[in-house]
């Protein structure tokens, strides 16, 4: 069965640069994988390409989710297929409150004739805020404007909890968080995965995050390609010898 994310022979260009070459990866439905690699290996480019960012040109290969091709689809369509990208650097939008933004996102997922209930929406929003130890007033603030690094990450997670995607691309979600906050985040993600069977791809250059998130499988990305796949043993390897030890001679 074709469930999950499948990338085959992908070559990716952004501006004038080729960032991925003949890249392949499969994350079967419901599994959580991790993609590790040094800065500049092409990890964030991959997540933007999956999400359909218009600046990322797919030269070769294809990306599909649950058997449906993603290439050529608009970012909002890909999002509504159930793919969520937690941004490394979320943008600020002055004047658009977190609550109104989330409301628009929920409404965009409703079918024709489906009615939006403000009461249910706010009840759900408040549950998610509570789960992340965020004040209710947080949802009245302008989206990401004046947020600390930690608040931005929690805001990404808030969106994820509320929108309940089928597949989460988690791009450096622990940057700016202390150990307690990282643990709390890992806990929320675990809960969501148990409830909804969400799969995902953790993208990080920083393997210590994985002790909390415990992915099913790990992949090492170097120079636009996966050079090794495996399990937890890879973490130790990176911590001892660094990414360069995976480079082919």
Partner 1 sequence: MKSPEIIADAQETKGDFRYALNYSLDAGQGLSHATLDYISDAKGEEPWIRRWRHEALDIFLQKTMPWEWAPAVLRDLRFEDFHYYLAQGTESRQSWEEVSPEVKRTFERLGIPEQEQKFLAGVEAQFDSEAAYARIQERLQAQGVIFVSSSEGLARYPEIFRPHFGQIVPVGDNKFSALNSAVFSGGSFIYVPPGLKVSQPLQAYFRINAENFGQFERTLIVVGEGAEVSYMEGCTAPSSSKAMLHSAVVELVVLPHAKLQYISVQNWSRNVFNLVTKRGVAHEGAEIRWIDCNIGSKLTMKYPCILLQGERARGEVLSIAVAREGQWQDTGAKMIHLGRHTSSQIISKSISLGSGIASARNFVDIRPADGQCQNHTQCDALLLNARSCSATFPTLRIHGHRNCVQHEASVSKISEEQLFYLQQRGIPHAQALSLSVNGFVNELLREFPMEYGVELKRLIELEVEGAVG
Q: How many residues bind partner 1 (CB under 8 A)?
A: 30
Using CB under 8 A as the binding rule, whether residue 213 contacts partner 1 is answered as no
Using CB under 8 A as the binding rule, whether residue 87 contacts partner 1 is answered as yes
Least distance from partner 1 to the Cβ atom of residue 75, Å: 4
**Biggest CA pair distance of the chain:** 60
Q: Which is nearer to partner 1, 48 or 205 (CB)?
A: 48
- Residues 125-184 touching partner 1, rule: CB under 8 A, are 142-143, 159, 163
Interface with partner 1 by CB under 8 A: which range of 18-26, 94-102, 117-125, 227-235?
A: 94-102
Interacting residue with partner 1 among 108, 123, 179, 247 (CB under 8 A): 108
Using CB under 8 A as the binding rule, whether residue 112 contacts partner 1 is answered as no
Q: Which is nearer to partner 1, 7 or 163 (CB)?
A: 163
Count of Cβ atoms closer than 10 Å to residue 78 Cβ: 21
Using CB under 8 A as the binding rule, whether residue 109 contacts partner 1 is answered as yes
Draw the binding track, 44-83, toward partner 1 (x: CB under 8 A; -: no contact): -------x-xxx------------------xxx-xxx---
Residue 5 near residue 82 (C-beta atoms within 8 A): no
Q: Which is nearer to partner 1, 74 or 211 (CB)?
A: 74
Q: In terms of DSSP bridges, do strands 225-230 and 217-222 run parallel, antiparallel, or are they unpaired?
A: antiparallel
Interacting residues toward partner 1 by CB under 8 A: 51, 53-55, 74-76, 78-80, 84-85, 87, 90-91, 93-96, 100-102, 104-105, 108-109, 142-143, 159, 163
């Amino acid at each position: 069965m074709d469930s999950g994310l499948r990338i085959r022979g992908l070559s990716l260009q952004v501006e004038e640069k080729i960032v991925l070459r003949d890249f392949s990866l499969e994350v079967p439905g419901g599994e959580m994988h991790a993609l590790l690699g040094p800065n500049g290996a092409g990890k964030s480019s991959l997540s933007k390409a999956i999400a359909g960012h218009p600046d990322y040109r797919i030269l070769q290969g294809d990306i599909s989710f649950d058997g449906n091709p993603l290439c050529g689809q608009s970012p909002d369509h890909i999002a509504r297929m159930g793919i969520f990208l937690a941004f490394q650097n979320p943008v600020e939008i002055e004047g658009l409150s977190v609550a109104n933004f989330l409301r628009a996102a929920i409404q965009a997922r409703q079918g024709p004739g489906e009615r939006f209930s403000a009461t249910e929406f706010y009840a759900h929003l408040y549950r998610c805020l509570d789960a992340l130890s965020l004040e209710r007033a947080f949802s009245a603030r302008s989206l990401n404007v004046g947020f600390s690094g930690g608040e931005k990450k929690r805001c990404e997670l808030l969106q994820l909890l509320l929108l309940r995607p089928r597949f989460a691309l988690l791009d450096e979600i622990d940057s700016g968080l202390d150990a307690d906050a990282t643990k709390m985040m890992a806990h929320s993600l675990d809960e969501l995965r148990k409830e909804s069977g969400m799969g995902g791809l953790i993208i990080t250059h920083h393997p210590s995050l994985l002790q909390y998130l415990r992915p099913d499988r790990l992949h090492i990305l170097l120079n636009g390609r996966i050079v090794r796949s495996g399990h937890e043993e890879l973490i130790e390897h990176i911590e001892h010898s660094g990414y360069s030890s995976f480079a082919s001679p």
